[in-house]
Structure 1
Amino acid sequence: MKTWIKRTFFGLAGAALLVGGLAACGHRMHHGWSSNATPEQAAEWRGKMVERIAGKLDLNAEQKTKLTTLGEKLHAQRQALRGQTDPRAEVKALFASDKFDRAKAQALVQQKTDIVRTGSPEVIAALGDFYDSLTPEQQQKVREFMERRRGWRRGG
């Protein structure tokens, strides 16, 4: 795999891990969490996420603004990846006939890869702007949190 693709994927994964991990500090939201949330619910959830993270890291107004921008970029990237159609329906359509539709599957992968490739520089820039605006103590809190949450999907 090309170096720039690896960096893009690691950067995007790091951004998602940072924001998702920090947002998971508090309790799980009941509204605005699902993919069927209205834009108002999603914006409300992002606002609560920013406030929660701001409280944990003692962010100033400028840092909150950068975190808000990061959240908006991540949301836009997620919406672009999801697209206008149901992702599950797209995958189910690959198996609709007696033969697996390889061309359609390859086109779907290419489409999603192109979305990540074009959107990730903005997400990475927003993540970098936010992280670079943190004080060394705040950055250390982020690193410690990420270390504690290592392996959270494996139940560890």
Structure 2
Amino acid sequence: MKPWIKRSLFGFAGAAIVAGSLGGCAAHRWGGGDPAEFRAKMVERIGGKLDLDTVQKQKLATLADKLGAQRAAMRDAGGAGGTRTQFQSLFAGNKLDQSAASKMVDEKTAAVRTGSPDIIVAAADFFDNLNPAQQAKVREFMQRGGRRWRS
């Protein structure tokens, strides 16, 4: 497989996992309520765990907004009906609709490619403005695979 195809597929998979995780948490924790309310609660919770100041919280909120926009772009890529409906339609006939599958992957990949630079900049802006102790807490959280923060 060509390297750019692998990178695109890994990027797509990574973004889908992040978007799905955020969406799953939002639906599970707060009954699928307002995404902006969910992001605000997460910013406050993470801000409390990391002892963020006001500027750092603003940078985290910007990152959360960019991730939410990326999730919406992924969900909306490919038109109406949502990803689940699009995926189910691929298997509706006697054979897998390969051209529609390729088109769906291309649309989702394009959405990731378009939104990724903004997310990278926002993530770097947030992380680079943390002090070393806060950065260590973020690294520790990531090493545990994203499991809950410990006080």
Query: Aligning the two structures, in what range does the TM-score lie when normalised by the shorter sequence?
Result: 0.7 to 0.9
Q: So what's the TM-score if we normalise by structure 2?
A: 0.77
Q: Work out the CA distance in 1 between the residues paired with 2:103 and 2:75.
A: 15
Match of 1:108 among 84, 88, 104: 104
CA contact (8 A) 2:30 2:38 kept: no
CA gap 1:80/1:3 in 2 versus in 1, 3 angstroms: closer
Structure 1 residues 120, 4: closer, same or farther in 2, change over 3 A? farther
Runs of 4+ in 1 over 3 A off after TM superposition: 2-6
Cα 1:133–1:4 change in 2 (3 A) is: farther
Letter in 2 for 1:122: D
* In structure 1, C-alpha distance between the alignment counterparts of 2:131 and 2:104, rounded to whole Å: 41
Q: 1:75 to 1:59 in 2, by over 3 A?
A: same
Q: CA RMSD in A?
A: 2.8
Aligned to 2:4: 2
Aligned partner of 1:29 in structure 2 is: 29
State the partner residue of 1:63.
Answer: 56
User: Quick one: distance in 2 between partners of 1:149 and 1:92?
Assistant: 30
CA distance in 2, matches of 1:3, 1:95: 23
Identity %: 46
Call closer, same or farther: CA 1:110–1:51 in 2, change over 3 Å: same
2:72 aligned to 79, 82, 104, which one?
79
Q: 2:140 aligns with which of 135, 138, 144?
A: 144
Report the alpha carbon displacement of residue 3 of structure 1 after superposing the two structures with TM: 10
Q: Deviations over 1:3-31 (max 9, x none)?
A: 9947x839x66xx49x96xxx8xxx6233
Task: Show structure 2 runs of 5+ residues with no match.
Answer: none
Secondary structure of 2:92's partner?
A: coil
Q: Structure 1 77/57 Cα, relative in aligned 2: closer, same or farther at 3 Å?
A: same
Amino acid at match of 2:109: T
How many residues end up aligned between the 2 structures?
134
Q: Which has the higher contact order (CA 8 A, sep 6+)?
A: 1
> Residue 127 and residue 4 in structure 1: after superposition, are their counterparts in 2 closer, same or farther (change >3 A)?
farther
| TM-score of the pair, normalised by structure 1 | 0.75
